[in-house]
């Protein structure tokens, strides 16, 4: 994987352990009590420090709240591309490809939903299923899949 490659992530249950819409719908957002998965800040730092382009692809409808969480965690400087809007993941990646010119084969996608993995992989994007949040081990496993993809 080169530094020109893109890595995209779903946010809910990949970067943080909750559904964004439910957190805000029930007025449960208390900044001091909302945490991400423990290794996510280090993962973002390592990838960005090594020149990777990072993005978020999420099909949630609470766009402002998702962006608010990115700022809450101090991650706004990590993401080169944020594609957050209702729709399906395949359409998100078609839009990303069209806007960025990055070939699908140069993208790696982490998601907690197997349906999204199946959908996006049809485009030629390397995908890795993440259950119970991102970790350094899962990052290395995803990179291994990406590097094994022809």
Homologous superfamily of the 6-148 domain (CATH): HAD superfamily/HAD-like (3.40.50.1000)
Q: Which residues pair with 16 in a beta bridge?
A: 12
Average the pLDDT over 37-42 and give the result: 96
pLDDT-derived band at 62, boundaries 50, 70, 90: confident
The model's pLDDT over 88-142, given as tens digits with 9 standing for 90+, comes to 889 889 988 888 888 999 999 999 999 999 999 999 999 999 988 999 999 999 9
pTM: 0.88
Which residues make Cβ contacts (< 8 Å) with residue 80, sequence separation at least 6?
A: 6, 53, 54, 55
Winning range, highest mean pLDDT, from 17-21, 26-30, 75-79: 75-79
The model's pLDDT over 116-125, given as tens digits with 9 standing for 90+, comes to 999 999 999 9
């Amino acid at each position: 994987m080169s530094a020109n490659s893109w890595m995209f992530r779903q946010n809910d249950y990949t970067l943080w352990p909750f559904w964004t819409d439910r957190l805000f719908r029930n007025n449960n957002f208390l900044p001091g009590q909302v945490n991400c998965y423990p290794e996510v800040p280090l993962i973002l730092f390592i990838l960005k420090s090594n020149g990777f382009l990072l993005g978020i692809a999420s099909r949630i409808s609470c766009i402002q709240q998702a962006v608010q969480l990115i700022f809450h965690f101090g991650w706004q400087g990590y993401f080169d591309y944020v594609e957050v809007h209702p729709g399906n993941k395949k359409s998100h990646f078609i839009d990303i490809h069209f806007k960025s010119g990055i070939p699908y084969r140069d993208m790696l996608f982490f998601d907690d939903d197997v349906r999204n993995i199946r959908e996006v992989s049809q485009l030629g994007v390397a995908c890795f299923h993440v259950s119970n949040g991102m970790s350094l081990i899962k990052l290395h496993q995803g990179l291994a899949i990406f590097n094994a993809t022809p």
